[in-house]
Amino acid sequence: MSFFLNKVISYLIFLRFYLIATFFAVIVDLVIYTYLRNHINIIPSATTSFILSQITAFTILNNLQTRKIKRKRFALIIQFLIGLGTVSIHIIVLKFLDSNSYIIGNLGLQNLPNYKNLYNLITKFISACFGFIWTSLMIRKFIFKPKNKILK
């Protein structure tokens, strides 16, 4: 039981720093996606915005945490591999929401798809929520550890 509790506490300590990095990464992701989505399709805009947000998150986490992998290049490559899973989650959710936009109409938001920027922002935020847990768990497990180790 104490092993499980230590793991949960360790994750929550990491989550504090991950939330800081994610806050800025999500802002980059949402701004880039919302702008690009009006000019190009879902997949290229989601991929571009996600790559830029991963670089943002990695840079911030690299300053706040200690890398488990000493070489920055390898750590960034692993983060991008983890990110591929997250991009897949984002694209699946975005495609689902676009193909089932009538659900939004049933929620009383019939005119939302007519406001493209707002619609793109909301759907991207929903997809980002689904990818958050996957990414935070994998980055904590494979790439970063706390600088000041509280639990042994």
Q: In this structure, which amino acid lies at residue 1?
A: M
Report the alpha-carbon distance of residue 96 to residue 127 in Å, rounded. Answer: 10
Mean pLDDT of 109-113: 56
Q: What is the pLDDT of residues 17-74, one digit of tens each?
A: 889 998 999 899 889 988 998 888 888 988 898 789 889 999 999 999 888 888 988 9
Of 113 and 59, the structure prediction assigns the larger pLDDT to: 59
Instruction: Give percent of the chain above pLDDT 90.
Output: 16
Per DSSP, helices labelled H in the chain are 2-37, 42-64, 72-99, 102-106, 116-142
SS3 at position 130: helix
C-alpha distance across the termini of the chain, in Å: 15
Q: What is the pLDDT of residues 82-98, one digit of tens each?
A: 988 888 888 898 888 88
